[in-house]
Structure 1
Amino acid sequence: MKNIYAIGVGLIGGSLCLDIKKNNPEAVIHGVSRKDATLNKALELNIIDKKATLDDLGNADLVIISIPVDATVTLLPTVLDKISDTGLVVDAGSTKVDICKAVENHPKRRNFLAMHPIAGTEHSGPTAALEGLFVGKTNIVCEVEKTTFKLQEKALKLFSDIGMRMRYMNPEAHDKHIAYVSHLSHISSFMLGKTVIEKEKNERDIFDMAGSGFASTVRLAKSSPEMWTPIFKQNKTNVIETLEEYINNLTHFKQLMEANDFDAINSEMENTNHIKDILKGIS
């Protein structure tokens, strides 16, 4: 795959470009963005080799779409219209049901591979791109059977070579599970940040007392609202379900506090400590 086009050259798209280029020096990375300033920055940082537009996609061996999920749903059919019969399109969206439905009847559905590389930071834009971001990370691939075997084989090797583990899942299962392990984490972080900011209006010293525990817990609140609002919208049903369970657990904890049942609180925390064994090896 020599001619690679990245639609979106921020954290995920830019990091994919850096790693693909490192492993495939002969590849030519073309950047596509609504904002020329974004492409200029990507060129300056050597994330891309050339600027391009959607009209150039007929030359692409691989197109990587890494833009907000609502924009992906809208743009994906047009991208498939423009690629050649031997071109492949992949997306990196954090939701999969709506994206897969958008092209389920497209004549070139076989040229699309739905995936979600589970990696990232709270930062955005080309300056957030990191070499090696995907080493040891999981890449969820959905509906792999709907992609032409020769194209999926090339893509999966490309992403395996930059260090990702492949896992296969249907879009519905993906969206349900990711609501728990990703989307809920971001909501919790945003709302913790909101709670503390509102309290800080009256207690100016509160941030002077914030330690590493607060910083790590609220880190995700620095994520892009423009990216996360469409994710919550597309995965609304699953997100609401996870929130209901989370709120129930918070309410139960509050009730134990009110009842001075600290033995039960200790037991709750001991049971939850098991998560360190489950997450062993995940950074």
Structure 2
Amino acid sequence: MKVFVIGIGLIGGSFTIDIKASFNEATIFGIDRSEENLDKALSLGLIDQKSSFDNLDEADVVIVAIPVDATVELLPVVLDKINDSCLVFDVGSTKKKLCEIISEHPKRRNYLATHPIAGTEFSGPQAAIANLYRGKTNIICEVEKTAFKLQERGMEIFSRLGMRIRYMDPASHDKHIAYVSHLSHISSFMLGKTVIEKEKNERDIFDMAGSGFASTVRLAKSSPAMWAPIFKQNKDNVVETLEEYIANLTQFKELIENDDFDTIYNEMKDTNHIKTILKGIS
């Protein structure tokens, strides 16, 4: 099985590690605009060979693991170049615009719209890790538009990597992911920004930062090159979630100003229910 991975970073590189471990017959080809990334991926054993778009007609599987704005531009090009029996799937955090862009492509049947809910705050080939996807949910959109035999090929890959599968339409995916992923990244970035600005005047503020701050601001270390395009593509849903979040923050501020700490206590107690909802999620 010839697997071409476009974008050898955390997500693409982690796929190569697990595919190489799970499919003895797999040969991994890397495509990346950064020659340095390709050299690093070779030295780390993430890929077997460097390659290019000109060789995509040899692929059995193509994994597109690049920022969502680049995926919108390049996915039609990838579909133009592959053979009729090749499976192409992407790993982007937005799906509606992408599915619309290729809806009329002659090789739409070769494409599987996927979003593995997995990752860390780190980036680059050196960030790739084994078993990143084990036990994680992989959301698949418009599965009925993918050729059945290619669906089976994708499901075999996802199964061997230990992923859970959930089906969703692209619009619902983008709306829900804005709440559980995109908003949390914005919150983390803005918390980091707030503290950095304060630190300009109070140089020892980071000496006081404990594990709570570190865990809350962890996502602020994520790549802006990946996240700015996500916010752009999912603008309407992100704005909606921000409006609700800001309203809750404003209400919380007013409760403090009004010394209404009984309500604050009850709001926090009610929100503690999230421990039950998230039980078992790592």
> Which bin holds the TM-score, normalised by the shorter protein?
over 0.9
CA distance in structure 1 between the aligned counterparts of 2:113 and 2:183, rounded to whole angstroms: 22
The residue number in structure 1 matching 2:201 is 202
The residue number in structure 1 matching 2:44 is 45
The residue number in structure 2 matching 1:85 is 84
- 1:102 deviates by 1.1
1:116 is paired with a residue whose SS is strand
The residue number in structure 2 matching 1:250 is 249
Deviations 1:24-43 (A, max 9, x none): 12100000011111100000
Deviations 1:44-77 (A, max 9, x none): 0100000000000000000000000000000000
- 1:196 deviates by 0.1
CA distance in structure 1 between the aligned counterparts of 2:114 and 2:170, rounded to whole angstroms: 9
1:2-151 → structure 2 map (5 Å cutoff): 2-151=1-150
CA distance in structure 2 between the aligned counterparts of 1:36 and 1:52, rounded to whole angstroms: 11
CA distance in structure 2 between the aligned counterparts of 1:142 and 1:69, rounded to whole angstroms: 15
Q: What is the percentage of aligned positions where both structures have the same residue?
A: 69
1:220 is paired with a residue whose SS is helix
CA distance in structure 2 between the aligned counterparts of 1:136 and 1:180, rounded to whole angstroms: 21
Check the 8 A contact 2:89/2:112 in 1, yes or no: yes
- 1:233 deviates by 0.1
Letter paired with 1:125: G
CA distance in structure 2 between the aligned counterparts of 1:153 and 1:107, rounded to whole angstroms: 20
2:113 is paired with a residue whose SS is strand
CA distance in structure 2 between the aligned counterparts of 1:79 and 1:47, rounded to whole angstroms: 21
Return the TM-score normalized by structure 2: 0.99
2:131 is paired with a residue whose SS is coil
Say whether residues 1:157 and 2:143 are aligned partners. no
Moved runs in structure 1, 4+ residues, more than 2 A?
none
CA distance in structure 1 between the aligned counterparts of 2:24 and 2:181, rounded to whole angstroms: 33
CA distance in structure 2 between the aligned counterparts of 1:128 and 1:250, rounded to whole angstroms: 34
The residue number in structure 1 matching 2:181 is 182
Letter paired with 1:20: I
CA distance in structure 1 between the aligned counterparts of 2:10 and 2:34, rounded to whole angstroms: 15
- 1:219 deviates by 0.3
Letter paired with 1:268: E
- 1:134 deviates by 0.5
Return the TM-score normalized by structure 1: 0.99
Check the 8 A contact 2:95/2:174 in 1, yes or no: yes
Deviations 1:247-266 (A, max 9, x none): 00000000100110100000
The residue number in structure 2 matching 1:236 is 235
RMSD of aligned C-alpha atoms? Answer: 0.4
Deviations 1:216-246 (A, max 9, x none): 0000000000100000000000000000000
CA distance in structure 2 between the aligned counterparts of 1:247 and 1:189, rounded to whole angstroms: 14
- 1:8 deviates by 0.5
Letter paired with 1:194: K
Check the 8 A contact 2:110/2:146 in 1, yes or no: yes
2:84 is paired with a residue whose SS is coil
1:113 is paired with a residue whose SS is strand
CA distance in structure 1 between the aligned counterparts of 2:100 and 2:4, rounded to whole angstroms: 23
CA distance in structure 2 between the aligned counterparts of 1:75 and 1:135, rounded to whole angstroms: 28
Check the 8 A contact 2:76/2:105 in 1, yes or no: yes
- 1:85 deviates by 0.4
Check the 8 A contact 2:87/2:153 in 1, yes or no: no
